[in-house]
């Protein structure tokens, strides 16, 4: 591998739909991204003027009296299209659908969840970017690398 990733047909589909995310979520931009043999790493930037406190499900901005208000299932539901969960759900679902159209013997699935980390400043962003960029160099040592296992 030598720190280089050669994408399979599945990898090419995963790559394609990563870069389609901003077409479907207008508040999203993308940063560093890498496809590994058995996982992906990427930075999703949600440019949202209405931030929400995810734990308490409350807006951190002031609403006008004329603005529609809603509860969990109404207009201001934090799980609408501006949430990271919705973005990742779309990405996994769309790529899985296309991958399974081309495969006959193997049914492709993603792991059920995903790992997230909120990047709070430029220093942390640069650390995450370097981690993603250098990830292929570490694949030879990865515990999930099939070539490393002795059979």
Least confident stretch, 75-79, 134-138, 141-145: 75-79
The rounded distance, in Å, linking the Cα atoms of 86 and 90 is 6
The rounded distance, in Å, linking the Cα atoms of 123 and 129 is 10
Q: What is the mean pLDDT of residues 117-121?
A: 94
The rounded distance, in Å, linking the Cα atoms of 87 and 21 is 7
Phi, psi of 88 (to 5 degrees): -65, -40
- pTM as predicted: 0.71
pLDDT of residue 147: 64
pLDDT of residue 37: 83
**Confidence check: pLDDT of 74 > 90:** no
pLDDT band with cut points at 50, 70 and 90 for residue 49: low
pLDDT of residue 52: 52
pLDDT of residue 95: 95
String of b and e for 74-107 (b: at least 16 CB within 10 Å)?
eebebeeebbeeebbebbbebbbebbeeeeeeee
pLDDT band with cut points at 50, 70 and 90 for residue 60: very low
């Amino acid at each position: 591998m030598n720190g280089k990733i050669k994408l399979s047909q599945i990898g090419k589909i995963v790559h394609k739909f990563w870069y389609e995310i901003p077409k479907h979520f207008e508040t999203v931009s993308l940063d560093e991204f890498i496809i590994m043999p058995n996982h992906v790493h990427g930075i999703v930037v949600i440019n949202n003027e209405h931030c929400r406190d995810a734990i308490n499900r409350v807006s951190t901005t002031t609403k006008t009296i004329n603005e529609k208000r809603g509860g969990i299932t109404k207009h201001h539901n934090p799980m609408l299209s501006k949430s990271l969960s919705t973005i990742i759900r779309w990405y996994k679902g769309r790529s899985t659908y296309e991958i399974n159209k081309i495969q006959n013997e193997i049914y492709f699935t993603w792991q059920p969840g995903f790992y997230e980390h909120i990047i709070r400043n430029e220093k942390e962003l640069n650390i995450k970017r370097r981690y993603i960029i250098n990830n292929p160099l570490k694949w030879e040592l990865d515990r999930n690398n099939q070539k490393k296992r002795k059979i």
